Structures are given as C-alpha cells and as structure tokens.
Structure 1
Amino acid sequence: MSAGRLAGRYSLLRPLGAGGMGKVWLARDEMLDRDVAVKELTLPEGMAPKERADSVKRAVREAQATARLRHPGIVALHDVVVENDRPWLVMELLRGRTLGDTVREFGPMPAEHAARVGADVLEALTAAHAQGMQHRDVKPGNVFLTESGRVVLTDFGIARQEGQATLTEQGLMIGSPGFIAPERLEGRPGGPAADLWSLGATLYVAVAGVPAYGGSAAQRVQATLLSPPPVAPGPLGPLIAAMMAHHPAARPGPRAVVSALRQVAAGRPLPELPADQSVTVPGKAPGRGRAVVWVAASVALAAVLAAGGFLAVRGLSGGDDVPAAFTAPMDVCTLLAAEEVGRLLLTAAPPEPQPGSDEVGPKCGWPVSGSGVGLQVQKDSDTVDPWSMTPATARTLFQNQRRYWGKYTSVDWTWPEIGVKTSRKATLTPIRPIAGVGEEAFGFELKGPTGRVHSAHVYYRLANLVVSVEYSTLSDRPTDEDVRQTALKAARASEQALRHAA
C-alpha cells in the first residue's frame, strides 16, 4: 500500500470506526468509481513470522468463504487484499446506523419494528447456516439499519478463525459477553442454535433498551451461565426468553421463530409458546444417555465460576487413599457387584447389567420391573474417554454439571426398561452438597405429580473421574429418604470399587 491506496485501486479516505479485530475505513474504489468500506484486520502483537503468515492465510480463506454468501441481509464482501502482512476486506458501504446506536439515541423499539428486524436477521443467519457458516458475534452493534430500510448483518465470519472453537484463542474472546450463548461460554463451538441465542439477546436490547445481562464482562458471563432467561417487556418477551433458553435443544427452531416474528411485525399477537422450557432426560435404552450434559468449560470460565462460590465437599469415607488418576479403561458394569445390586433393588435375583456408551461416556444399568440402578463414568467433549481426563478437567466437568442441573426446576423423564415408556413430567429438588462420597459430590431428586420422590441422583468426583449414579422406583412403598439413601449407597459402593481397582 502506498500513498493511502490499497492494491493500487482503493483510496483510504478516513476511518469510520475501530474494534477489537481491526479498523474500518471509508474508501474509494477508483476502478469502479464507487465508495466502499475497507476493514483492516489486526493480528496480535508478538506473533512469530510463520504463525502470522498462517493467520493471514486462514483469514483470507474464511473471507473467501464469506464472499460466497449472497443475501440482502448479509453485508456483501467485494474483495480481499493482503498488504503490509495483514488482510484487508473490501465490503459494500452501508449508510445508516447500527441497531445499538439506534436504541441508544431513540430508546426501545416498538415490538412490531423489533420483530421485523429480528426476522430479517434470522433469515440471513439461516441462509448462512445452510452453507455451514456461523456468525458467532450477533449483537446490536453488528445489526445495521440502512437508510433505505434494509436490515443487514455485518462482520459475518470476519472474526472467525479456523479451528477456533473454544472461548479463547491467542488471548481473544470469540463474541461479546452478554451476547455469547451458554454452550459457547462452556467451551463448545456451538451451532446455529447459538447464533439464535445471540439474536434473542440482541432483540432483548431492541425492546428493553438495555442488555439482558449487565455489569462487568465477568458478571455478564456468570449471569448467562447461572441466571434463567430474562423476560423482556412487551409481546415479544416470551419468544425472546425461549430463544435464550440455556439448553440449545430447548430453543425453538428458526422457522417457528421467523413465523412468530413476522406475525408480530404484522400487528398480530404472538403465537402460543410451550408453557416451560425443560430439558428432556432420555431413557436407558441402549446407545442413549440418561442426560446430555454440556460440560466442556474453558479454564478461564472455570475461574469465573469458582469465584461465584461453587462448593466442593471433601469426601470422608475413603481417607487419603485417592489415586493420582485412573488411566486404565475398565468395565463400568463391574463397579456394582451383583450382590450389591440385589440389596439395592431388594431382589434375590439381581438383573444382568446392561452396558452402553454415548457421547457422555460409558455407562451401565441394572433395571427390573418398577425400579433400577444406573451409573455412568463421564467425560468432557474435548477428551477421548474418561480415563484420559485429568483431575483439573474433572473438577471443571464436575462444577459445570452441578451448575447445569441447578438451573432446572423440571424435566421430562423416561426409563422404558423399568416401565416408564412415555415421557413424564418431574420436578427437580434443589442441588445439595453431599459429604462422604469421592472428593466432592452433590445430589438432587425427581418428584412426581404427587410430590413423592421417585428418583435420586448423585454426582461425585474421585481423582480424574466424574461418576453419576441414579436410583429410580415406581413403588409407593419407599419413603423419600429411602430413595435418597439407596442412590447414596449405590454411589458409595461404586466409589469403593474404584478405590480398590486403583
């Protein structure tokens, strides 16, 4: 670049703005005689030459992929230039203001206007998702309202680095706190549902005039992970809360959201939504998990959550004979002996174990008609198997499970092998710490419509392993405390088996 001219054709006139990923210039395309916007991408200081070159190549490849997106709701990318060891992106020049600036100047939007903005943005996102592209930074500052009436999503894919799926990479945060979906904060790359969550947070600002979560960056992160979805004022409140459900599977699909937004934009009432957003607890069918627990939290988030007061209770039953780590794979069905299963299920003929495995880890169940015991040795999504976990990653896994289950008040519960073949609504009791199992443990119960406990769950950590244990019964004979104690006995028996196997 020389004399303020890029690639011999783009004259840089004046800066339009700057952010964490670079500076945007007003420029003139001398060849086509038109004004354009040029984004100068900045790279972290101190990068080695090869690392810098690789980053530039990645940015160019991703910009080329973004250039293939053609939609009126996505800012058009005209050209990619590499000069001065950095990439420059030449984009269409938009005239107007961002959604964030509009709300700051004029206050909250009418519901009809906000609904139209949301529908336009979601249609643009859906078109991108169909081509395998995710935005990952949907926020009011990246939604542009043009003078001609277009709603345009900007910075699409610009900040995306190939392979950058966790919260931090080279010291950068992917997204803006308060607008990052919970699953991305937990360290997973997320999917289209994560962009939908961010759009919900953006629409909250549009109709409320303030973000859903305020405070410092750490406070916004913590609130996203720990607080229930807020309900924005006005007719869009229930829909926005549904879009911001913590669990991706609890969020409505994009088609349903667009349809609902279009109805509100047309002045019609919001379609009826489900009464509550609850997570489904699948049954014990072979190959299916009892719970899909998203627990791959980053080290940075673990520190934030620890500061928020997570309670770790040291185990009391096993003394100091805790191994450094369990590294040899084992048959999890051996963690409860047949005699122990018989005592737990009150039967002289204990059932044969039913082994299984899913994305959460290897598991085993012992069901009989009307009751059952199950356990699972769990792993995070970044680890091949539980035996490859470290004590540090296991602690993070345990903390996130405790936080995850603490957020819900109800679940849909099934266990076909014991006789619950159709989904039943169950109420969760509050999470409570448990002493005497592993190095740290917590538990909770499920209650049926009569208020009686029918299932009890115990999660504990021992060294580098996190184990979940459950006991369920359909009988009215056991008291609530009987159910709790049976699950606790199963957890302690499995823990002792692990200690003896070390």
Structure 2
Amino acid sequence: MPGDLYLLAGRYRLIERLGQGGAGTVWRAIDEMLDRQVAVKQVRVPEGLSPAERARFTDHAIHEARSAGRLRDPAIVLVHDVVLEGHQPWIIMDLVSGRSLDKMIKESGSLPPVFVAAIGLRVLSALEVAHAHGMLHQDVKPANILLDGDGSAMLTDFGIAAQMGRPGDRYGSAGSPGYMAPERLNELPSGPASDLWSLGASLYTAVEGRSPFERALPAAVAAAVLLHEPPFPARAGRDFGALLMAMLAKDPAARPTAGQIRQALAGVPTVPVPRPRRARRRWLLPAALAAVVALGAGGWYAAGALGGGQETGRFTTAPDPCALLSDEQVAGLMKGKPERTATRPGECQWLIREPGRRLVLRAWAEKPAGEFGGPQVAQRRFTSEKTSRGAGEGTQGREARGRVSDVTGVGEAAILQNSFTLYVNTNKTGTSDSTLLFRTSNLLGEVIWHREDVPAASPVDKETAVAAARLVSAALSK
C-alpha cells in the first residue's frame, strides 16, 4: 500500500486514506501539476489472476474509466484521469463536498417525499447522460448519492461503469445486495432499466428509512430481490409509492421509462422540508469526517469543506438554457424547424429528426468552495476540463476525437473539440459531434452540435457550435 506521501505518476501526491471497500481504496491527494485537491481511487485487482487475465482486467478497467470520464452533467462527479502504475489502475476524480444519502438516512430516518423526489430527478439526469453514451453505472445506491449543503444531489463512482449489453462482470460482479436488479443477479445482460431499478430501490430506502428488501443476510437479500415483492412504501404516498413499486418490477420491460419517471417525480406534491437534525456546519465539517463513507462493491466519494464569505459571481443560479436561444436563432443555425425540449434541469435540446440533427445547450453555476469564490471554482473546473478532454485526443476503436482548441469571442474562455464515431456495421458513415465548453464568471456552459449519418470523409462542422455559443454568450451579457 502507498504511504501518506506516495507520489503517483509523478503528479498526484496521496495525503490520506478516505475509505476502503471491495472495489478499491480511496485517497485524498494533491494534483501537484494544477495545485488542487483530488480524489484518487486505487482499483482493487482480483487475486489469483494469471498474467494474461491481469492484463485484460487492467485494460478493461482503464477503458471503462476513460469512457466514464467523457460523461458531463451537473449531477455527475467528474472523472479527470486514469493512470497505470505497477500494473495497478488508478482513477482520479473530483474531490466533492457533501455527505451521502446513506448517511443522512442513518442519521435522520425516513425523508420527506418531495425531498427524495428532488434527489431522484438529479440522479435520473446523471443516469440519462450515461445511458445516452452507452454506459451503465452499475452501482446506484444511497452510499453513492452525494448531497451538497443545499440538498442538491450528485451521483458518484462512475469508475466502474460498463458498456450496455454485457453479461455479469467477469472478475466479480459490481454492485451491492439489495440495489442490484434481478437480471444482474441472474447474470443476464444489463440495460438502462437495470440502473433505473437501482434508483427506485435507493429512493424507496430514502422515503421509508429502510431498504425494500431488507434481510439479515446477503443471500436472503438476493433471494428477496429475485422472488418477493417489497412492502408498499406507505410514507411515500399513493402516487409516489406506486411509481417506486413500478420501478422495482422484476421484468425490465415492465418498468417505467426514464421520461415517465421524470414526469412522475416532478409531480410529487410539495411540502415543507425539515432541516437535518444536525446543524449544517456540523455535518459539512470537518472534511475528513464528511468524506468517509462505507464502501460496498466500489461505492465511494470524498469531500472538501465548503467555505463562507467568498465571491459568488454573476450568477446565483444558472439561467434557463431554453431562454438563451430563440427558436428563430436555432432554426437559422440548424437550417430547419427543430423541436425544442427541456430534457432535464440545466439542459435544453433542439431536434430535427430527419436527417438527424441535434443542438444541446447546458448551463450550470459554480458555487464558492473552501477558499475559492464561485468564479475561481469555475475557472479551475474549466482548466481541469480542458486538460481531461485534451487527454482524450486520438482514435479508440471506432471513435476518433480531435484536439482541443481555444475559441475566441465566447465568454471569458472557451474550448472546442470534435469527435466522429463510425457506425458498427460500416466504415463509411457515423455520427459527428462538435462540443464547445465556455466560462463566464462562475457560469459554465456547453454547446453540443450532433449530426447523424455523416460520411466519414465529410469535414467537421464546428462553425454551428461556435455560432450558437456566441449567441448564448451575447444573451448572457445583456
């Protein structure tokens, strides 16, 4: 095991162990290149593997971590880097402030339905982003849902995320008893419905104060998931309770879709949310205590204390992305009449189904953290994003990612990266994406211009993404 001052990859200095579990050990570390604190996960390599099996395990872990690092959503704890040292995979992620939903339930018992529904909407947003990228989280549970001081939720531990359609994990199944969908326990292929089942189990636990399949032994929990129906969650109310029961259906095809879940969660009646039983400052500080959670099969997060009195920045909250571009502006950009949809909080999408064009706009406001004000946090996040996206340049499988380039005339700073992914059955056509990230004060925004059925020899169309971002920047400056 590394010591307290171990320097990983000549860059990440391990400071203290934050927790340990079946999938690895989590450390607080200093990124000496960027002078920032990060969380470093030392992935556990199964014992008894042959050299060839160990190499395959390591390659798989690195590939999945890199894929998870491309996921972008305000409710996702970001993966910044993955390194290999001494045949040992390490995953570098954000060091995030807050405590787990699991810990809140243990301290406060059952939580108000409206509070739980708001958590569900945030986690659902993170899962939809992952599923849109062909990734499954595989370990959604209360210990992996992190709550910030204002109650907003983030989903952690995308380091063990996996491609859709894979059967049970070859080197030991990721996940936790009571939060693994029946098809995963049966080692059948997983899909988005598997993650949504786990979300339903997590929300059930939060609103009832106990898990839906609570038993004394892990084997009994697994048997209950496969064979028994949970008690109706009486504290959730009729409609919310019915939604949770539907999400926990044994048959994946019988479960509601993400869109149906979102609609139902948004309709949970609003009631006053009581303050946590402990004062806010007490459960946010000190960072070392707030950071440690029980690590199941890979669940983890780390924390840094929130500071007070720092500059907020121009934006106390992020503006509605749908209000930053008019329909006329988007029609001109996309050369057609698109459908507009507020897909999730902080995101708006304009879609032309034929010939397959999509413009996505996201915006989120960073808050003061520790000794840094909101603009400083946003600047550091932007710098980190620039570094991690630049590291993804190159060709992997059927996907090619271009270099990260600076863009002028958009906010205070902006970068753009193009990517192209060939379809599975041909080397002639695929999908093209131009992704532009920009920063203005404490606000970060992202514009994604997506095109389908694009010839492989066709030049990239970065101009549309840049033009859209400049219109958004102008709207923000008013």
TM-score by length of 1: 0.51
What does residue range 160-309 of structure 1 map to in structure 2 within 5 Å? 160=162, 165-166=167-168, 169-170=170-171, 172-215=172-215, 216-233=217-234, 234-235=236-237, 236-264=240-268, 266-267=270-271
Q: Which amino acid is the alignment partner of residue 251 of structure 2? A: H
Deviation at residue 18 of structure 1 after TM alignment = 1.0
Identity among equivalent pairs (%): 48
Deviation at residue 73 of structure 1 after TM alignment = 1.0
Q: Which amino acid is the alignment partner of residue 78 of structure 2? A: A
- Matches of 1:65 and 1:108, distance apart in 2: 35
Helix, strand or coil for the counterpart of 2:49? coil
Q: Which amino acid is the alignment partner of residue 227 of structure 1? A: H
Is the contact between residue 139 and residue 202 of structure 1 (CA under 8 Å) also seen in structure 2? yes
Helix, strand or coil for the counterpart of 2:19? strand
Aligned length: 266
Q: Which amino acid is the alignment partner of residue 210 of structure 2? A: V
Helix, strand or coil for the counterpart of 1:125? helix
- Matches of 1:19 and 1:224, distance apart in 2: 23
Q: Which amino acid is the alignment partner of residue 107 of structure 2? A: E
Is the contact between residue 39 and residue 90 of structure 1 (CA under 8 Å) also seen in structure 2? yes
Q: Which amino acid is the alignment partner of residue 230 of structure 1? A: P
- Matches of 2:24 and 2:118, distance apart in 1: 30
Is the contact between residue 118 and residue 265 of structure 2 (CA under 8 Å) also seen in structure 1? yes
The equivalent residue for 1:140 is 142
Give the 3 Å change call, closer, same or farther, for CA 84–72 of structure 1 in structure 2. Answer: same
Instruction: Please list every run of 5 or more consecutive structure 2 residues that lacks an aligned counterpart in the other structure.
Output: 273-478
The equivalent residue for 2:62 is 60
Is the contact between residue 59 and residue 161 of structure 1 (CA under 8 Å) also seen in structure 2? no
The equivalent residue for 1:123 is 125
List per-residue Cα deviations over 1:337-389 (Å, max 9, x = no partner): xxxxxxxxxxxxxxxxxxxxxxxxxxxxxxxxxxxxxxxxxxxxxxxxxxxxx
Q: Which amino acid is the alignment partner of residue 214 of structure 2? A: G
Helix, strand or coil for the counterpart of 1:176? coil
- Matches of 2:19 and 2:161, distance apart in 1: 16
Deviation at residue 66 of structure 1 after TM alignment = 0.5
Deviation at residue 113 of structure 1 after TM alignment = 0.5
Deviation at residue 229 of structure 1 after TM alignment = 4.1
Give the 3 Å change call, closer, same or farther, for CA 148–93 of structure 1 in structure 2. Answer: farther
Root mean square deviation of aligned Cα: 2.0
Give the 3 Å change call, closer, same or farther, for CA 265–11 of structure 1 in structure 2. Answer: farther
- Matches of 2:263 and 2:271, distance apart in 1: 13
The equivalent residue for 1:101 is 103
- Matches of 2:52 and 2:269, distance apart in 1: 51
Helix, strand or coil for the counterpart of 1:264? coil
Q: Which amino acid is the alignment partner of residue 37 of structure 1? A: A
Deviation at residue 224 of structure 1 after TM alignment = 0.9
Deviation at residue 161 of structure 1 after TM alignment = 8.4
Instruction: Please list every run of 5 or more consecutive structure 1 residues that lacks an aligned counterpart in the other structure.
Output: 269-502
Is the contact between residue 101 and residue 142 of structure 2 (CA under 8 Å) also seen in structure 1? yes
Deviation at residue 149 of structure 1 after TM alignment = 3.9
- Matches of 1:113 and 1:163, distance apart in 2: 33
What does residue range 425-440 of structure 1 map to in structure 2 within 5 Å? none
- Matches of 1:135 and 1:157, distance apart in 2: 8
The equivalent residue for 1:71 is 73
List per-residue Cα deviations over 1:180-208 (Å, max 9, x = no partner): 11122222122111111111100111011
Q: Which amino acid is the alignment partner of residue 244 of structure 2? A: I
- Matches of 1:55 and 1:44, distance apart in 2: 9
Deviation at residue 147 of structure 1 after TM alignment = 2.8
Deviation at residue 267 of structure 1 after TM alignment = 4.9
Q: Which amino acid is the alignment partner of residue 241 of structure 1? A: M
Which structure: larger Rg? 1
List per-residue Cα deviations over 1:307-343 (Å, max 9, x = no partner): xxxxxxxxxxxxxxxxxxxxxxxxxxxxxxxxxxxxx
Deviation at residue 84 of structure 1 after TM alignment = 2.2
Helix, strand or coil for the counterpart of 1:55? helix
TM-score by length of 2: 0.53
Helix, strand or coil for the counterpart of 1:175? coil
Task: List structure 1 runs of 4+ shifted beyond 6 angstroms.
Answer: none
Deviation at residue 40 of structure 1 after TM alignment = 0.4
Q: Which amino acid is the alignment partner of residue 107 of structure 1? A: G
- Matches of 1:262 and 1:161, distance apart in 2: 29
Q: Which amino acid is the alignment partner of residue 176 of structure 1? A: S
Q: Which amino acid is the alignment partner of residue 205 of structure 1? A: T
**Alignment partner for residue 38 of structure 2, among 8, 18, 36?**
36
Q: Which amino acid is the alignment partner of residue 98 of structure 1? A: S
- Matches of 2:245 and 2:55, distance apart in 1: 43
Deviation at residue 177 of structure 1 after TM alignment = 1.3
The equivalent residue for 1:382 is none
List per-residue Cα deviations over 1:79-134 (Å, max 9, x = no partner): 11111211111000111111101100111111110000011101110111011001
Helix, strand or coil for the counterpart of 1:50? helix
- Matches of 1:265 and 1:131, distance apart in 2: 32
- Matches of 1:5 and 1:148, distance apart in 2: 35
List per-residue Cα deviations over 1:460-483 (Å, max 9, x = no partner): xxxxxxxxxxxxxxxxxxxxxxxx
The equivalent residue for 1:47 is 49
